[in-house]
Amino acid sequence: MKSSFARKDLEVLESEFDVVRFEFIPRKKFLVPLLFVHQFFFLLFHLPTAKATVTLFGGYHSFLPALFSRLFNKPAIIVLGGSDCVSFPSINYGNFNNALQGAFTRWSLNFATHIAPVDESLKFTEYGYTDSDLPKQGYTVFCPKATAPCTTIHFGYDSELFQKKTDKNPGSFLTVGYLNPANFYRKGVDLIFDQAIRRPENTFTIIGGTKEDLPEGTSVPDNVNLIASVTYDELTAHYSTHQFYFQLSMMEGFPSAICEAMLCECVPIGSNVAAIPNIVGETGFLLLKKDTNQLHELVEKALQSAVTELGLEARKRIMKRYPKEERMKLLELVKTEVKN
CATH of domain 4-156+324-339: 3.40.50
**Cross-strand pairs, 55:** 78
Residue 1 has pLDDT above 80, yes or no: no
Residue 295 has pLDDT above 70, yes or no: yes
Confirm or reject CATH 3.20.20.140 for domain 169-321, answering yes or no. no
| Domain boundary assignment for the chain | 4-156+324-339, 169-321
CA distance 138 to 18: 32
Are 4-156+324-339 and 169-321 equal in CATH topology? yes
Give the rounded percent of residues in the chain with a pLDDT score beyond 70. 99
pLDDT bucket at 26, cuts 50 / 70 / 90: confident
Nearest to 152 by CA among 318, 18, 274: 274
Arithmetic mean of pLDDT, 196-216: 96
> Residue 203's CB: how many other CB atoms inside 10 A?
19
Sequence-separated (6 or more) residues with CB below 8 Å from residue 175? 187, 188, 189, 192, 205, 206, 207, 245, 246, 247, 248, 257
CA distance 261 to 176: 10
Greater confidence (64 vs 4) lies with 64
pLDDT bucket at 5, cuts 50 / 70 / 90: confident
69-106 confidence digits (pLDDT tens)? 999 999 999 999 999 999 999 999 999 999 999 999 99
pLDDT bucket at 199, cuts 50 / 70 / 90: very high
pTM of the model: 0.94
281-292 confidence digits (pLDDT tens)? 999 999 999 999
Q: Quickly list DSSP for 182-222.
A: HHHHHTTHHHHHHHHHH-TTSEEEEES--GGGSPTTPPPPT
Residue 2 has pLDDT above 80, yes or no: no
